[in-house]
Amino acid sequence: MQTCYALTTIFVDETTRNTRRSGTTFSRDNISRIMQVQAGFEGQRVLVMGLGSFGGGVGAVRFLLQQGAHVVVTDLRSKTELAKAISQLEEYCDNPKLSWRLGEHSKDDFREADLIVVNPAVRRDNPYLGIAEDAGVPLTSEMNLFWQHNRGKVVGVTGSNGKSTTAALIHSILHEAGESSWLGGNIGKSLLPEVDQIESHDWVVLELSSFQLADLNRIQASPNIAVVTNFAPNHLDWHDSIEAYESAKQTILRWQGKDHFAILNDDDPVVSNWSTNCQRLSFGTTDAGNAGVFQSGDRALIRFDGRTEQIPLAESLKLPGPHNFSNALAATCAALAVGIPTRKIGPGISKMSGLPHRMECVGEWQGRHFYNDSLATTPESAIQALQSFDEPIVLIAGGYDKQVDLAEFGRAIAQRTKSVALIGQTADTLREVVSKLQPSVEIGSGFPNLAGALEWAVAQTEPGDVVLLSPGCASYGWFRNFAERGDAFSELVRERLSSTA
């Protein structure tokens, strides 16, 4: 790979990295100035803060360079840490309009920019963003830029769990039904570089995180169809309170109009009570007589647009677990709101075989099956994974502490596993819960790395067992993100398979 640096300073200041400017509010969103900059990016100085690992930063850089902007990428991580993301910009290595500042941030960059594109994981009370605000520099994000340039109709999907799978199911249904459909957002693909190709009759399916939604609230973004899979405490280390997290999630409904649709989970006691300004549809395992899509045995009961009918959902669905049946109900509901005939829903559901790092079977060794569920970064997702198997489970769980309650996860581990290898910051908390509830569950901890945890887990197994990586926690500390954690697990399994072949 070529070196793509017109301007690079390698310096890491741990004090700066960990400092947060508390109490800063951005009262001057300066939307008019943002729109002025966006009306003509040619020659504008745009700072991209945080290249990221899931495509948003790369997508923003691509788009801005295509528009003729002068782009500076600033990130506290080093060239080595960002190697994978940087490699995706290799074609722009010789572009004089692209510069880099890695390993540090410079105050001058934030004062002198015409616009700053902020990674959604960066809190808005970051001191450098305070410097930008004081200098009158407007802030935006990759998703906000996309929203303001997108001509297509949007299906927005959010929730604490299941949003990736639900978004992918919706996209698959639309695509197989012959609709022009694009899939992007938090699922890992930025559509910003392709926004000019999206037509007004196209459908854009976006997985939206609470971080992205918090920023979209600033521009009063409203999807044509909003889907909320569920709600549970998450990311409280970022949002500071459950109320702030819920408010961010509710952005997906807040600005909708009467011609829009809101698709809400009737089984969720929080989401089912959210108010809407538009046409409301429900989904769930229990039919309360509302308009929407509901489970009826292994079928989906549809009550929509004045008609009631059923379709054989289970025979089309390849994804395991009751939670995925619920995801398919939500996706079916969204497809109906788009206007897809019921007869065209099954093929799209059948085509969807799963996402990487989500209940992904990555190998079989001497009768043991290995599953990579690294995308389960919340206790609720991991609990759903545990409920998806009838076989004995040896679990690998734990990770970064996001300040959420792990009691229910610990209870599920005690009830559903024969052994558990605990990793990361939350290992001690989970050990305490599991050992009290079920002393017979074998618990391992204190592993130096994932390889050690996997070796211990395999040693607890017998033929017919499942070895499941479903951490229920974020990956930070040991890994940069869930994908890196899942890739590491899969590679370790492949090494085991090849060494015993």
**Does 360-499 match 14-140 at the fold level?**
no
Is pLDDT of 34 > 70? no
Q: How far apart are CA 330 and CA 91, in angstroms?
A: 40
Residue 403 φ then ψ, to 5°: 65, 35
Residue 360 φ then ψ, to 5°: -95, 115
Q: How far apart are CA 262 and CA 224, in angstroms?
A: 9
> Among candidates 138, 186, 141, which has minimal Cα distance to 162?
186
Query: For residue range 308-319, what is the model confidence (pLDDT) as tens digits?
Result: 999 999 999 998
Please report which confidence band the pLDDT of residue 132 belongs to, taking 50, 70 and 90 as the band edges: very high
Is pLDDT of 39 > 70? no
pLDDT at 237: 80
Tally Cβ neighbours within 10 Å of residue 46: 26
Chain centroid to Cα 496, Å, comes to 30
Please report which confidence band the pLDDT of residue 32 belongs to, taking 50, 70 and 90 as the band edges: low
Please give the share of the chain, as a percent, with pLDDT higher than 70. 92
Burial class (CB in 10 A: 0-12, 13-18, 19+), 436: exposed
What CATH number matches the domain at 146-351, 3.40.1190.10, 3.40.50.720, 3.30.70.3000, 3.20.20.70?
3.40.1190.10
pLDDT at 213: 96
Any idea which of 35-44, 57-66, 150-159 has the lowest mean pLDDT? 35-44
Is pLDDT of 5 > 80? no
pLDDT at 40: 79
Query: For residue range 155-195, what is the model confidence (pLDDT) as tens digits?
Result: 999 999 999 999 999 999 999 999 999 999 999 889 999 99
Is pLDDT of 111 > 80? yes
Query: For residue range 342-362, what is the model confidence (pLDDT) as tens digits?
Result: 999 999 999 998 888 988 999
The CATH superfamily label for domain 14-140 reads: NAD(P)-binding Rossmann-like Domain (3.40.50.720)
The CATH superfamily label for domain 360-499 reads: Mur ligase, C-terminal domain (3.90.190.20)
pTM of the model: 0.83
Query: For residue range 53-62, what is the model confidence (pLDDT) as tens digits?
Result: 778 999 999 9
Domain ranges of the chain: 14-140, 146-351, 360-499
Query: For residue range 445-476, what is the model confidence (pLDDT) as tens digits?
Result: 999 999 999 999 999 999 999 999 999 999 98
Per the structure block, which two tokens stand in for 298?
């292994």
pLDDT at 313: 97
Tally Cβ neighbours within 10 Å of residue 47: 26
Is pLDDT of 13 > 80? no
